[in-house]
Structure 1
Amino acid sequence: MAMLTDTLTLIFKRDLLKLKAELSLYNHEENLWLVDNNISNATGNLCLHLLGNLNTYIGAVLGHTGYVRNRPEEFSRRNVPRVALLNELDRTIQMIDAVLPSITEAQLSDEYPDQVFDYKMTTEYFLVHLATHLNYHLGQVNYHRRLLDIDLHV
């Protein structure tokens, strides 16, 4: 029987690969950073946010990778080259592959080591939360691309 970590590893990798595909589908790289009146987070910033989120809560906390997050910068940085984002996504996939399979059943049922919300939760609960958080923002990226990846040079 597969452990939850096996399933979550597949889901995280699937969705991170889909995020890479979404970034690659933009016709104009500069459109990764567009916002408008109704869409306040650019795809580039959502990508930086997801990288920070996963590298913090899975990499640093559970995998002891030493990653240090700068959350405000995830939403303030602009014009990071697409290739740099894609490379960071590759490194995050490698981190997922290294960390999640090492999580034991006992660790899954233990309380998550950091208090993230105003309530305690198991590691299992929080990992499922992180997977749904990734998927939520992946949907936003898809809509952002389809709505705002317009030809600026008309």
Structure 2
Amino acid sequence: MLKTLKTLFARDLGRLRREIELYQTESNLWAIDQQIANSTGNLCLHLVGNLNTYIGAVLGKTGYIRHRELEFSLRDVPRDELLRKIDETMAVVQTSLNQISEEQLPDEYPMLVFDEPTTTEFLLVHLTTHLTYHLGQINYHRRLLDRKLF
């Protein structure tokens, strides 16, 4: 299971990186329109914060401190900085997952995230689906809005 999780996180963080690179106009990373409340830039910051918290800080003991409100309020972070944050998150995720064993996956996750305790395995699978969910939003945002001029 850990090998699968590492593969999925690496694959989808790589896809996130590629989506950010594909924007033809850098300012469109921050575009919102009508009912789309979260820009790609903010979703990218949110994913980085999420993974650095629940994998890096909790499992990898990195000392990362999350500022969730900034994930949605910061604007116009340069593309190169977003890409750097993704690359750093890729390394943190892999290093942190290397610190746990298959035998620890059924253990209770050390932090209460939902209404009731979950296993580490459940939380890690949830994080892969959370990443993929927002990755789909980002892909759609890019294809829909990157062609418009705001």
TM-score normalised per structure 1: 0.95
Q: Write the letter of the residue equivalent to 2:51.
A: L
TM superposition shift of 1:152: 2.6
CA distance in 1, matches of 2:102, 2:143: 40
1:14 to 11, 16, 37: 11
1:96 to 93, 96, 106: 93
Partner of 2:122: 125
Shift in Å, 1:132: 0.3
Structure 2 residue aligned with 1:141: 138
Displacement of 1:97: 1.6
Report if the CA contact (8 A) 1:6-1:100 is conserved: no
**Aligned pairs (5 A) from 1:58-69:** 58-69=55-66
- Number of aligned positions between the proteins: 150
Unaligned residue ranges in structure 2 (runs of 5+): none
Q: Which residue number in structure 2 is paired with residue 46 of structure 1? A: 43
| Identity among equivalent pairs (%) | 59
Deviation (angstroms), 1:151? 4.8
Q: Which runs of 5+ in 1 are unaligned?
A: none
Shift of 1:74: 0.2
Give secondary structure in 2 for the equivalent of 1:74: helix
Corresponding residue number in structure 1 for 2:105 = 108
3-state DSSP class of the match of 2:62?
Answer: coil
* Residue aligned with 1:127, SS: helix
Q: 1:28–1:151: 8 Å Cα contact kept in structure 2?
A: no
Matched with 2:22 is 25
* Residues 1:34 and 2:31 are matched in the alignment: yes
4+ runs deviating over 6 angstroms: none
